[in-house]
Each structure stands twice: as C-alpha cells, then as structure tokens.
Structure 1
Amino acid sequence: MLAAWRNWRDRRRVKKMGFTASQWESAVADWPVMSRYQGAERKALMALTFRFLARKSMVPGGGFAITDAMCLRVATMACVPILKLGIDWYNGWYTVILYEEAFIPNRAHRTADGVVHARGPLLAGEAWQNGPVILSWDAVCKSGGASNVVIHEMSHKLDMRYQGANGAPPLHQGMSPQQWHDTFSQAFSDLQEDYRRHRHMPVDAYALTGPGEFFAVCSEAFFESPDQ
C-alpha cells in the first residue's frame, strides 16, 4: 500500500517538474559512462533520475546558482549505483547540497598529530548519517578516470544503511556476509601491501583511510573505470 502511494506521488512530482528526455540527454551527453547504458537500460536510468529529483531537494551552498542541467547530471550519477536496486535504497535522507567549489565544514577537526582545529579541511564531498549529501560542482565536473565524487558519496549512503559507513553495506538476498567480509578484508590488505611496497595501485590511495573509504573509492572506480 505504501509502495503504491509512493509510486503515485513520484509520478505526480515528475510530471510537475516537467523534465524531458532531450533535457536529460543533453545534461549527461559528455559523461563517458553513459555509453554503457543503451536501450531499455538507458530509459530506466532516465526514469530513475527523474524519481530521484522528485524525492530529493537539490539546494545551493554558499549562494551558488544551480541549473536544471546540473540537477539532472548529479542525479544521474547518483542513480547509477542503484539502477538495479531501486530508489528506496536512498530512503531516510532528503537533501543534496551543491557548492560551486570545495567547501570547508564548519566544525572542529582533529588532525593526525592530535591537534584540534576550529574548522575542517577543504572537501569535495561529504555524506552525513541520516543527513544530506554535500558536493562540489567543480569536483562533479572533474569526474573521470576512476574518480566520481557523486558515486563516492552515494556509496557511503548505501554503506550507512547498515551500522554506518564501515565497508559492510546491506547485501543482496543469498549473499554470504562471511564471504563478503573475507573478500573485502583480503582486498583491503592487498592494497595496503601495494602501498607499502610502492607498487601500482588500482585505486586511489585515499581508499586506505579506512574500510568505509575503501568501499566508496572502489565503488566510484567500478562504475567509472571497471576494467581496472
């Protein structure tokens, strides 16, 4: 009953927003990842993008002027990880805040040397538990290679659905939590060893910050550059 009501509400909101297929195509035309989505799958991604914008508010940070094209691009990137999962996997939060450039969180920050600073470092993206996703448009525009700030932060949101951003997201039915843990732990250990031995690393070294970042960095690399 609730699902049927949500679907009806989504359709109503999407119709009211009035986005067209041509608007969407124009907004994502130069994102190379889109070439992998054709036919029915491409139409499904577009529909999911519209539903994302029907459920989430895209608001400016620092007075930044946001266009419909920006909203469509960010929403499409956000929907790629849930294309086979569904929009409900992003339930429990409601807002995307978009800054023009990197932003500084207005909160205390402790550095590795133990010093507490009044404000944090410059960030390109951030995801809050039960709160908003915050993004830099400049970083969104620099997506490519193995990097995508939107997918990175949305991966944190998926991870947070089960006991926080710890690299142990909810699994598909039939998946073994033990197998996930063993495979994940071995991959994390292998990356640490690559770093120690100064070997080529298939993903950015930021993945070594912790299990949550390892999951998010691997996720953005998987969708942007799956071959590696």
Structure 2
Amino acid sequence: MPNLFSRWFGAQRRERALRKYAIDDALWQSTLDALPFFGHLDAAELARLREDASLFIAQKEFSTAHDLQLTDAMIVSIAAQACLPVLNLSLDLYRGWVGVIVYPGEFVIRKTVEDEDGVVHEVEQDASGEAWEGGPVVLSWEDAQMTDGAEAYNVVIHEFAHKIDMLNGEADGHPPLFRRWHAPLDAQAWSNVFDHAYDHFCAQVDAVPDRRWSRFERDSLIDPYAAEHPSEFFAVCSEALFVTPHAFEAAYPELYRLLARYYRQDPAGVGALAGRHE
C-alpha cells in the first residue's frame, strides 16, 4: 500500500501545483506568439507543455540581478523554453536544484583555464548564460528574448541542455541514456555518431584561415563556439534541433536523428522516430 499512497499523494500535490501556478490564457498565448519554434507542436503537446511550465514554475525559484524587475511574462517564457527539451521525457531531469537567476543582459563569469603549457590562469569573460552543476541556471534576459528562429540560437535551451548533460556527472556531451525512453540507443551508438560529428566539426573550425573566419561564423549553422568542448557541441546542437530543425536536419542528418531520438521529438517532421522503442 505505501506505493499506492505515494502515487495518490504525488497526484494530489501535482494538481495543487497546477491550480496554484496556472498560466493565464492571454499570457500563455502571448508567450507562444513570441516563440515561433513551438510551431511543430500540436494542440495536445502544447497543453502538456503548458502544464509542465506550471509545474516547473512551482518547483523552481526565480530571482533577478542588477535591479531587473521580475515579471510573470519573463517567468513563463523561460519556463516554457526550458520545458521544451523534456516534453517527452520528464521534468525529473531538472531535479536536484532550484534556482533560476536572470540578469538584464550579459554578465561576467570567472573561470580557471589551463593553457597548452599546463599553466593555470584565472580569466573573466562575458556570458549570456551559465549552468552550475548542482546549482542554479543563470540567464541573460536580453539573450533569452532572441527567439525569432532566424538563427540556431536559444540561450535557455542551451543552458538546460547542459543541466541534462550534468545528470550523470560533469557535462561531457554524453547525456544520460534511460532505458525506458532511449533503448535501443546506448552509449556506443551515441559515441559513434556524436563523437564523430564533434571531431569533424572541430576539424572544420581548425581549418578556417584567419582571413575567412568572419565569413565562416556568418555561414555556419552551428556556432563555432561549439568546438570548445563536447558539452558545448551538445548544447549548441540541441538549440539547432529545436530552433532551426529543417536546416539542422539538412546539414547534419545523422546528428539530427540522434538528438531527435534522445529528446523523443522530431521538429523537422522527417520520420526520425519511426520504429522507436517505447
């Protein structure tokens, strides 16, 4: 009976959260209008996304920095975008932390880096987002509003992809594979596609002459920043999957199918999930 009681209690708590944090109809519609990449979702999927966004808001603590005023529109926009990658998985992938911190624009982060000679340096750099292992997600609101789908860019999806990647330890571009959702996809099958694509992309970036760098940045669907680390490649490709799915599938068909199978979504509608294991 304990399991039955736990399920009943969990269902009751869920219903209370959905009532308490229900999203107003007008606010939800304005959120969808501002996020055109939700266009591949049908009515039932949008209804589930709305529920997930309410539950996400119930579970997380939103705060701002530098006197930025926190509004319901900001909270719902971030929640909806954060919930898209886990729509056909589970909000449990965001367990173990509670904070979402929103800055007005880019903010400074401090990192420890080791150069080619093994010398460790403390560096500062501007950032539009950051995900801390076991800690908060930090976002630039200015960047979080860059959602017109003109480019494969979405800072919210990027940082929450990092959070998923961190579930099995330090972010490394090899997110956890769950048998209930991802079988028969396994670690070797992931490596065969993902690692090869990452190595190939890094080779492309390394081969660009300095005089052609600006053109490469302009023409490349995948931001060259993705070559920094496999975790960044995973996060940037996750952005592309959801924001510019048709272009991503055309340029990187194998990689598109891998990520579509991982997130259990096929935004380009190319049949990437046909015959998947349930």
Q: Same fold (TM over 0.5)?
A: yes
Q: Which has the larger displacement, 81-90 or 14-23?
A: 14-23
CA contact (8 A) 1:146 1:225 kept: yes
The structure 2 residue matched to 1:51, chosen from 27, 43, 55, is 55
CA contact (8 A) 2:108 2:124 kept: yes
Which residue in the other structure is 1:226 paired with? 245
Q: Please tell me the residue identity of whatever aligns with 1:73.
A: S
- How many corresponding residue pairs? 226
Q: Distance in 2 between matches of 1:61 and 1:112?
A: 32
**Cα deviation, residue 116, structure 1:** 3.4
Which residue in the other structure is 2:175 paired with? 169
Which residue in the other structure is 2:162 paired with? 156
The structure 2 residue matched to 1:181, chosen from 181, 186, 191, is 191
Give the share of equivalent positions with the same residue, in percent: 35
Q: Distance in 2 between matches of 1:112 and 1:127?
A: 23
Are 1:126 and 2:126 counterparts?
A: no
RMSD, aligned CA = 2.0
User: 3-state DSSP class of the match of 2:125?
Assistant: coil
User: 3-state DSSP class of the match of 2:27?
Assistant: helix
Q: Which has the larger displacement, 121-130 or 1-10?
A: 1-10
Which residue in the other structure is 2:78 paired with? 74
User: 3-state DSSP class of the match of 1:116?
Assistant: strand
User: 3-state DSSP class of the match of 2:63?
Assistant: strand
Distance 1:80 1:3, change over 3 A: farther
Are 1:61 and 2:65 counterparts?
A: yes
Q: What are the residue-to-residue correspondences of 1:1-228 with 2, within 5 Å?
A: 1=3, 2=6, 4-105=8-109, 107=110, 109-110=112-113, 116-117=121-122, 120-143=124-147, 144=149, 145-173=151-179, 174=183, 175-198=185-208, 201-227=220-246, 228=248
**Cα deviation, residue 12, structure 1:** 1.3
User: 3-state DSSP class of the match of 1:101?
Assistant: coil
CA contact (8 A) 2:101 2:139 kept: yes
Q: Please tell me the residue identity of whatever aligns with 1:225.
A: T
- CA-to-aligned-CA distance 1:138-180 (integer Å, 9 cap, x gap): 0101233100000000000000001220011111312221111
Q: Which has the larger displacement, 156-165 or 33-42?
A: 33-42
**Cα deviation, residue 10, structure 1:** 3.1
Q: Which structure 1 residue ranges, 5 or more long, are not aligned? A: none
Q: Distance in 2 between matches of 1:13 and 1:181?
A: 39
Distance 1:50 1:183, change over 3 A: same
